[in-house]
Amino acid sequence: MHKKLFLNQLFTGLMGASVLAFAGGTAADTINMRANTIGAEGGIQMEGLRTLKQVVEDRTGGQVNIRLHHSGALGDQESDLESLRAGTLDISTIETPITSVDPVLGLLSLPYLFRDREHVEAVLSGPVGDEFRERLQERGYRVLGFYEGGFRHITNSRRPIVEPDDLRGVRMRTPGSPLRIRIFNHYGADAAPLPYPELYSALQTGVFDGQENPLVEVRASRFYEVQDYLSLSGHVYTVGFILMGEERFQSLPEDVQQALLEGGEAGGAATVAFGREADESVVELAEGRGMQVNDVNLDAFIEASSVIWDDEAERLGGSAAELIEAIVNTETP
C-alpha cells in the first residue's frame, strides 16, 4: 500500500508539467470536476455517483474533487450529452437518451430482454458490454461504468394493471425514447414523454394518470404520494451509463483516468446493491402509504411484447439483431 502510494506520488511529480497545463497552477492544485444527474438526491444514480466520488478522491489522495449535482440541476440528459462532448461538464449519468448517440443501443430498452440482475451482469461484463464501450468511445464518450437504472414497474391512479389491456386509455408518461412510447401505445396506453423533473407535478395535477420507473424512483421521488396503484411488471431493465467526454478523459493524467475507471466500476456495483434493497423495502413502503400493489400476468405481457422485438430489430438494422441474439444467449454463472 505504502509502495503504491509512493509510486503514485512519484508519478505525479514526474508528470508535473502536464498537471500544470491542465490545472493552471502548481502540481498540488486540485482538479475540480462536476457530475450531474437527473436523479433525485436519494435516488439510485446519486448512490452511484457518491461511490464514484469517494473512490476517485481516495485514490488520488484528494487531488481530484468531484462536486455532485442532482435533480437535473445542471441540465437534462440530452443537454448533458452535449455538455460532455463540449467539455463543459465532466461526468453524467445517461440512460434512455443514449440512443441519440448510437441508435443501436435502443435495443437495451426491449421489453423483457433481461431475465434478472445476474443476466445483466453477465452481459455487461462480457463481449457485449465491451462492444457498447467501444461504440460510445468511437462517438466521443468514455464509459466509466455501467449502473443499474433498474427493472421498471408501472404506477397509476386509475386501476390495477394486471393484463396489457388494463392500460387501455391510461395516460402514461414515458422517457423520450420512441421505443418506450411505442411499447406502451402497443399495450393500449396513451403514452407521451415528459422531462423527469416535471413528472411529480404532472401526476399530482392529473396531466398524466401513470408512469413507469424502477422501485427506487418510486421511493426517491415519492410517487406513492400521487399514485394509487403499483403493478410489478418489470417490463424493462434500464442500463445506465456513467459517462465522460472522451477528450476530457484523455486530457487527464493516467493515474486520474485509472481512478475514474475504478470509481465508475465501484459506482455501478453500488447501484446494483441499492436496487436489490429497494425491491423489498419499496413495496413495503408503498403499501404502508396506501398504494395497492399487485403482480401482473407476466406471460401476457411477454406475449404482447414479441412483435415489438421483431419490429425493433428490423428498424435498427446493422448489428442490432446479432447483439440481441448475443444478449439472449448469454449464460449466467
Q: Which residues are annotated as a binding site?
A: 95, 152, 173, 213
What does the CA dihedral 9, 10, 11, 17 come to, rounded to 10 degrees? 100
CA distance 148 to 210: 22
What DSSP designation does 163 have? Answer: S
DSSP string, 78-119: HHHHHHHHHTS--EEEE-GGGGGT-GGGGGGGSTT---SHHH
CA distance 264 to 278: 21
- The rounded Cα 13 to chain-centroid distance in angstroms is 37
CA distance 203 to 225: 10
3-state secondary structure of 149: strand
3-state secondary structure of 252: coil
Strands 141-156 and 31-36: unpaired
Neighbouring residues of 236: CB distance < 8 A, sequence distance ≥ 6? 109, 110, 111, 112, 113, 151, 152, 180, 183, 212
Binding residues for N-acetyl-beta-neuraminate: 95, 152, 173, 213
Neighbouring residues of 38: CB distance < 8 A, sequence distance ≥ 6? 45, 71, 72, 76, 77, 93, 195, 196, 197
Q: Where are the beta strands (DSSP E) in the chain?
A: 31-36, 64-69, 91-94, 141-156, 171-174, 190-193, 210-214, 229-232, 237-245, 292-295
Residue 4 is placed in which grid cell?
503504491
Give the long-range contacts of residues 189-192, CB within 8 A, separation 24 or more: none
Q: State the residue for C-alpha cell 440481441.
A: 324
